[in-house]
Amino acid sequence: MTDTADFSLVDIQDLHKRFGENEVLKGINLQIKRQEVVCIIGKSGSGKSTLLRCINGLESFQEGDIRVDGKPAEPDNPNALRELRQNVGMIFQSFNLFPHLTVGKNVMLAPMLVKKLGNSQAERRARHLLERVGLADKFDSWPDSLSGGQQQRVAIARSLAMNPEILLCDEITSALDPELVGEVLQVIESLAQEGMTIIMVTHEMNFARKVSDRVIFMHQGKVHEAGTPETLFTNPQTAELRQFLA
């Protein structure tokens, strides 16, 4: 018998992605286990966002294979794509809350539309998730009355409402005032502790060091170095990583 925990939840083999002539991902191999927390670091333009976007089907790719929970990512197959998106939540730098909906309705919308949850069930779930991100009292508030940190926590709750197996985070604290970064990272850390599988592109090196199981350093469209935070941060092997960390 094989322990299911040993299967890769995300399995990326030799992924190549081009925008026209510009090859942005040059053969990425990456396996991520259930409950693993992986931080991706690297310079601007190294392909971090494109990699995350490929994992949840926002980008098509030319070569290679991406599997999430054993199922291939097929950006051109609408049914497969719908299933993939339900499995993989993604949070961005910009919170993108629906401004014309209250906080509660923002969190209720997708489960009602996509999972056909009834109003009361969706509301119960939304209230529970808002409590989990520390915003129990904001159910009836409007997004623009909240701070950036609070809005991002609503975006996290909204993403969790679909009950994804994996959370992809793309520089989710980069647009925040410094004093609001901590409250968002705190939420991600608690999700990590509860066993959520998380792939997070971040510039927050202290967070990467403290919370992640593994750090991936991307450089020019490749995984240039990967390992435990301890190894990568205290003993970088390549000149590129040393320069990036300096």
Residue 72 binding: pick among Mg ion, ligand ADP, none (C-beta 5-8 Å cut-off by kind): none
Distance, CA of 190 to CA of 183 (rounded, Å): 11
Residue 152 binding: pick among Mg ion, ligand ADP, none (C-beta 5-8 Å cut-off by kind): none
Question: C-beta of 196: minimal distance to ligand ADP in Å?
Answer: 22
Q: Does 224 bind ligand ADP (CB under 6 A)?
A: no
| Segment contacting Mg ion by CB under 5 A, of 6-14, 43-51, 122-130, 157-165 | 43-51
Please report, as residue ranges, which positions from 43 to 72 form the binding site for ligand ADP (by CB under 6 A).
Answer: 44-50
| Segment contacting Mg ion by CB under 5 A, of 47-55, 67-75, 118-126, 146-154 | 47-55
Contact criterion met (CB below 8 Å) for 12 and 64: yes
DSSP assignment letter at 78: H
Q: Residues 33, 34, 37, 38: what is their CA dihedral angle, to the nearest 10 degrees?
A: 30
Distance, CA of 18 to CA of 110 (rounded, Å): 31
Question: C-beta of 52: minimal distance to ligand ADP in Å?
Answer: 8
Distance, CA of 17 to CA of 25 (rounded, Å): 5
Question: C-beta of 229: minimal distance to ligand ADP in Å?
Answer: 19
DSSP assignment letter at 115: S
Contact criterion met (CB below 8 Å) for 167 and 128: no
| Token representation of residue 235 | 């003993």
Q: Does 24 bind ligand ADP (CB under 6 A)?
A: yes
Residue 50 binding: pick among ligand ADP, Mg ion, none (C-beta 5-8 Å cut-off by kind): ligand ADP
Q: Does 49 bind Mg ion (CB under 5 A)?
A: yes
| Token representation of residue 66 | 């991406």
Distance, CA of 47 to CA of 34 (rounded, Å): 23
Q: Does 19 bind ligand ADP (CB under 6 A)?
A: yes
Binding site for ligand ADP (CB under 6 A): 19, 24, 42, 44-50
